[in-house]
């Protein structure tokens, strides 16, 4: 298991080795998840999303960089690859609390952290990046993505999810989002919660809630992924590689100026 996430050599062994590393990084998809301190089961949600990606044949690196995530090892700045913990042949885990800030440049961008991840784990074609909205905003200033918002079956968590949506829309012009809702699949409130969040995002920010999925905190990640979650992760992995910044339309631009 270790060889999949083994630390890479400081320099390519030859030209072909360098090209393989370059193209491995180009195929890597980063799936941002906005951390939410009001969701008690965020770890379970990460496990389910990871399992859904693995079920589709992807190699996944989970980068856990939220405020309440574990601190990284002291060697993380020197050898990021060596700090990745192999959980299985398909899954690696990186404790990364506070690491994005270490990569902030003079323009306030932390996109260098994403480059470092690609260099540390070029074999991973899916990076599940769990971080606070403020850190995500620094990392995705010039990158396209559809952030996934975390929510639960109570108002404070949805308020926080909306705040993350608003911040990312204002700072990065990211205007489409998905919702991962930790709740009982039988809850009648779940569709209402998603509808309310979608309405607020559209009405006040000009953003769109593209899709949403309920994740049952009581179920195990080894269970078959729910249809909605499988659909959501498939769409995330199929997003176009568009590095151009989003340009808000008239309605969205007006909303961003007034909210």
Tens of pLDDT, residue by residue over 99-144, are 999 999 999 999 999 999 999 999 999 999 999 999 999 999 989 9
Rounded distance between C-alpha atoms, residue 165 and residue 144, angstroms:
15
pLDDT above 60 (res 251): no
At residue 11 the predicted structure's pLDDT band, cuts being 50, 70 and 90, is very low
CB atoms within 10 A of CB 91: 24
Give the per-residue pLDDT at 77: 87
CB 46 within 8 A of CB 62: yes
pLDDT of 247 strictly over 60 = no
Residue 242 confidence (pLDDT):
56
pLDDT (tens digit per residue) in 24-46: 444 799 999 999 999 999 999 99
Evaluate if residue 221 carries a pLDDT over 90: no
Would you say residue 248 has pLDDT above 70?
no
Above 70 in pLDDT, residue 4? no
**CA 62 to chain CA mean position, Å:** 9
Closest to 168 measured CA to CA, from 135, 194, 210: 135
pLDDT at residue 249 tops 70: no
Give 85's strand partners.
93
Q: Where is pLDDT greater, at 222 or 197?
A: 197
Residue 112 CA: distances (Å) to CA of 33, 109, 140, 141, 143: 18, 8, 10, 11, 12
Percent of the chain with pLDDT over 70: 81
| DSSP codes of every residue in 46-113 | HHHHHHHHHHTT--EEEEE-STTSPPPPGGGTT-TGGGPEE-SSSEEEEE-TTHHHHT--TTS--HHH
Is residue 138 classed as helix, strand or coil in its secondary structure?
helix
221 within 8 A of 51, measured Cβ to Cβ? yes
pLDDT band at 225 (very low <50, low <70, confident <90, very high): confident
Q: Which whole number is the average pLDDT over 175-186?
A: 96
pLDDT value, residue 108: 94
Average pLDDT, the chain: 86
Find all residues with CB under 8 Å of 89, minimum gap 6, and list them: 1, 4
Q: What is 2-6+20-258's CATH number? A: 3.40.50.300
Residue 190: per-residue pLDDT: 95
Give residues with Cβ within 8 angstroms of 223, minimum separation 6: none
CA-to-CA distance for 63 and 32, rounded, in angstroms? 10
pLDDT of 259 above 90: no
Which of 244 and 190 is assigned the larger pLDDT? 190
Identify the pLDDT of residue 141: 92
Strand order in the sheet with 60-64: 85-86, 91-95, 60-64, 126-131, 29-34, 148-152, 176-182, 208-215
Q: Supply 55's token pair.
A: 């079920």
């Amino acid at each position: 298991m270790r060889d999949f996430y083994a630390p890479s050599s400081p320099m390519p062994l030859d030209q072909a080795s360098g090209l393989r590393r370059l193209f491995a990084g180009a195929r890597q998809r980063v799936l941002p998840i906005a951390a939410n301190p009001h969701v008690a089961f965020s770890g379970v949600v990460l496990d389910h999303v990871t399992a859904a990606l693995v079920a589709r044949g992807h190699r996944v690196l989970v980068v856990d960089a939220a405020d309440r995530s574990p601190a990284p090892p002291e060697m993380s700045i020197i050898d990021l690859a060596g700090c990745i913990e192999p959980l299985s042949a398909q899954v690696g885990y990186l404790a990364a609390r506070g690491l994005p800030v270490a990569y902030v440049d003079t323009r306030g961008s932390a996109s260098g952290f994403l480059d470092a991840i690609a260099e540390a784990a070029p074999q991973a074609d899916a990076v599940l990046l769990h971080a606070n909205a403020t850190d995500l905003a620094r990392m995705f200033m010039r990158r396209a993505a559809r952030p996934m918002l975390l929510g639960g079956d109570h108002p404070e968590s949805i308020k926080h999810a909306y705040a993350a949506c608003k911040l990312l829309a204002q700072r990065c012009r990211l205007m489409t989002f998905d919702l991962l809702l930790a709740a009982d699949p039988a809850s009648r409130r779940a569709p209402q919660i998603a509808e309310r969040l979608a309405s607020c995002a559209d009405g006040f920010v000009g953003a769109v809630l593209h899709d949403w999925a309920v994740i049952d905190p009581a179920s195990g990640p080894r269970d078959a992924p729910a249809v909605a979650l499988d659909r959501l992760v498939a769409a995330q992995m199929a997003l176009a590689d568009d590095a151009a910044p989003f340009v808000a339309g008239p309605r969205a631009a007006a909303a961003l100026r007034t909210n």
